[in-house]
Structure 1
Amino acid sequence: MCESVTSEALDFFWTISALSIAVAGLFQVKGPSGFVDVITAFALGKIGEAGDTGISQTSLANSLQRSPTTITRLVDFLEEKDLVVRKRDEVDRRIKTLSLTRAGTELLERIREQASAAARLTFVSESLPSLQERHAYLKATLDIVTRAGDAAPKSVDP
């Protein structure tokens, strides 16, 4: 049985979708094969946060809410562009950890600079309480959307 959706809920959904597109539009960083998309930027950020110990592909897939197949394709691309290096874990050889190369670190730095510039342009006139309130609301909305995504049927990668 399918529950009906209010027009307000549907409008909110489309507004959030439009917001994600608008944010992606602010994000214009040139990489080795054209502009870096948001998923690639987040992946580089997660790998960079892991530092020298690296992050497993499974952890990366979970944090980006993408299938292992999708992450393997992304990591293959990043490795081909010399942005990441994939290493076998010394304890469990089935696990592959990812670390940034020098080129990956430099690209991530440019991504962070662009994100800072976009945040300055977008929110410089906002008061701190207003930003904190909006941030809290967006984080709560993200939690709701994440839970819905976790519950949704998964499509199979082609």
Structure 2
Amino acid sequence: MTTPDSSTAQLADLFFRLGKRIRHRSAEHLAPVGLTPAQARALRVISHSDRPLRIVALAARLDIVPRSATAVVDALEELGLVARSPDPDDRRSVLVVLTPAGTELLQQLRDTRRQAAEDLFLALSPTDRAELTRLLVALHDATDPTC
């Protein structure tokens, strides 16, 4: 017999395992282009900004220290995926934007990430996928967005 506590623990364990499986598949797709998952995440965050980001703001959005964000930006700049420019409002700050090559690579990464997810969820029927989506949306909407 499954108790509420054990079913909750099993559910959490399954979420963590599936998340790990998705991250592992995504990492496999990143390796050929020479990106780490952290660098890919930084590209996504930069692309979602409606204006160039300060490195401090990027660090906050990535939930890392500014020095680590600087290292990520260094690597992305070396690959030609982002460009830095001085912040006209604060001489001590640097702004980061995607380059055309970064935008193109990000689109390729989105496509491969979507394909990896599709491959994973093909194990479910369309009805089961719709139900899982409904449940995950309900859970997402019911939880603290700052987590």
Q: Residues 70 and 9 (structure 1 numbering): CA distance in 2 closer, same or farther, change over 3 Å?
A: farther
Determine helix, strand or coil for the equivalent of 1:82. coil
SS across alignment from 1:98: strand
Q: Which structure 1 residue ranges, 5 or more long, are not aligned?
A: 1-5, 147-158
Cα deviation for residue 101 of structure 1 reads 1.1
SS state at 2:91 partner: coil
Cα distance in 1 for partners of 2:12, 2:70 equals 30
Q: Do structure 1's residue 106 and structure 2's residue 108 form an aligned pair?
A: no
Q: Which amino acid aligns with 1:101?
A: T
Name the CA distance, whole Å, in 2 between partners of 1:32 and 1:82: 16
Partner of 2:113: helix, strand, or coil? helix
For 2:130, the aligned partner's letter is L
Spell out structure 1 runs of 4+ moving beyond 4 A: 6-16, 30-33, 138-144
Residues 22-101 of structure 1: matches in 2 within 5 Å? Answer: 22-27=21-26, 28-30=28-30, 34=34, 36-51=35-50, 53-101=51-99
- Number of the residue aligned with 1:153: none
The 1:133/1:14 distance shift into structure 2, 3 A limit, reads: closer
* Separation in structure 2 between the aligned mates of residue 20 and residue 42 of structure 1, nearest angstrom: 15
> Normalising by structure 2, what TM-score?
0.74
| Aligned-partner Cα distance in 2 for 1:86–1:30 | 23
Q: Which residue of 2 is the match for residue 156 of structure 1?
A: none
Q: Which amino acid aligns with 1:91?
A: D
CA contact (8 A) 1:32 1:81 kept: no
2:22–2:117 Cα contact (<8 Å) kept: no
Q: Distance in 2 between matches of 1:39 and 1:114?
A: 16
Question: Please, what is the CA RMSD of the aligned residues?
Answer: 2.9
8 Å CA contact retained: 2:30, 2:37: no
Q: Deviations over 1:102-140 (max 9, x none)?
A: 221111011111122123223353443431312442576
TM-fit CA distance, 1:71: 0.8
Flag structure 2 segments of 5+ consecutive residues without an equivalent.
none
* Aligned-partner Cα distance in 2 for 1:12–1:128: 18
Partner of 1:128: 130
- Does the CA-based 8 Å contact 1:31-1:107 persist in structure 2? no
Distance 1:42 1:26 in 2: 15
Question: Partners of 1:127 and 1:14 in 2: how far apart?
Answer: 20
Report percent identity of matched pairs.
29
Alpha carbons 1:56, 1:96 under 8 Å: kept: yes
